[in-house]
Amino acid sequence: MCTGDCAKFIGASLYPFCVLNIVCNIILLFPGWSTDAVNNSGERLTPEVLYLGGLIGSGILVLIPAICIQYTGRRGSCNNRCGMLVSIVLAAVAVCGALYGFVTSMLGLIQGPVCYYRFINGIQRWTSPFKLDKEFIDLERSYLFHKEVWSRCTLPEGVVEFNIILFSTIMVASAIEMVLCLFQMINGLFGVFCGTCQKRFH
């Protein structure tokens, strides 16, 4: 496969992951499939959701370069060494966007959701319980390894599983985006030095 065809393939391959990240980040704005968090001025939303890592980072900041990278691979004015050089820069921007989405999602997983939590002393309140002192909530390690405490988040219903699934999805999709964009940077270098096979079609 020549560098132009490879760029076209990589650009097109990025689309579904961008869309997946955007959709997941939008769904995260409605924890437990409820609009209550949004209606409360976002105070009951997980802070990492508001960083919009999946929407802006591994969504839009990857989607725009992906379109340009795919266009670089098509026969025409951009399918040349200069176009490949531009694609390297765009792929680097996409790597930064995907990395932002990955990091914010990882933080969202580590910190846990905002929920109406029932503490072991019987007190209930809206908080980010898994960010608190571990002795206070009686956990020896991350809440991810203590499924029995997930049910203490009574509202929104199922919010812990909700956050884990969606943040994990964004993390995996962002990681794949980074790999694809790094491949494009390498492919772009070959395109700059070796050409894009464009002459074969003249």
Express each pLDDT in 20-53 by its tens digit: 999 999 999 999 888 887 777 667 888 899 999 9
Q: Which residue has the higher pLDDT, 64 or 189?
A: 64
What's the rounded mean pLDDT across residues 190-200?
Answer: 64
Range of the domain at 122: 3-201
Evaluate if residue 189 carries a pLDDT over 90. Answer: no
Residue indicated by tokens 């003249």: 202
Q: Mean pLDDT score of the chain, rounded to an integer?
A: 85
Nearest to 66 by CA among 37, 43, 98: 98
Share of the chain above pLDDT 70, in %: 84
Count of domains in the chain? 1
Range of lowest pLDDT (56-65, 87-96, 133-142, 183-192): 133-142
Evaluate if residue 201 carries a pLDDT over 50. Answer: no
Distances (CA, A) of 159 to 70, 78, 155: 38, 47, 7
Q: What is the per-residue pLDDT for 83?
A: 73
Q: What is the dihedral of CA 67, 73, 74, 77, to 10 degrees?
A: 100
- Dist. CA 31–CA 33, nearest whole Å: 5
Express each pLDDT in 147-176 by its tens digit: 888 888 888 888 999 999 999 999 999 999
Range of lowest pLDDT (4-8, 51-55, 79-83, 144-148): 79-83
> Hey, what amino acid is at 89?
V
Nearest to 176 by CA among 16, 4, 9, 2: 16
Residue indicated by tokens 């509202």: 155
Q: What is the per-residue pLDDT for 176?
A: 97
Q: What is the per-residue pLDDT for 76?
A: 54
pTM: 0.86
Q: What is the per-residue pLDDT for 198?
A: 55
Give residue 197's pLDDT band: very low, low, confident or very high (50, 70, 90).
Answer: low
> Tokens representing 165?
């699934």
Evaluate if residue 178 carries a pLDDT over 90. Answer: yes
Q: What is the per-residue pLDDT for 154?
A: 87
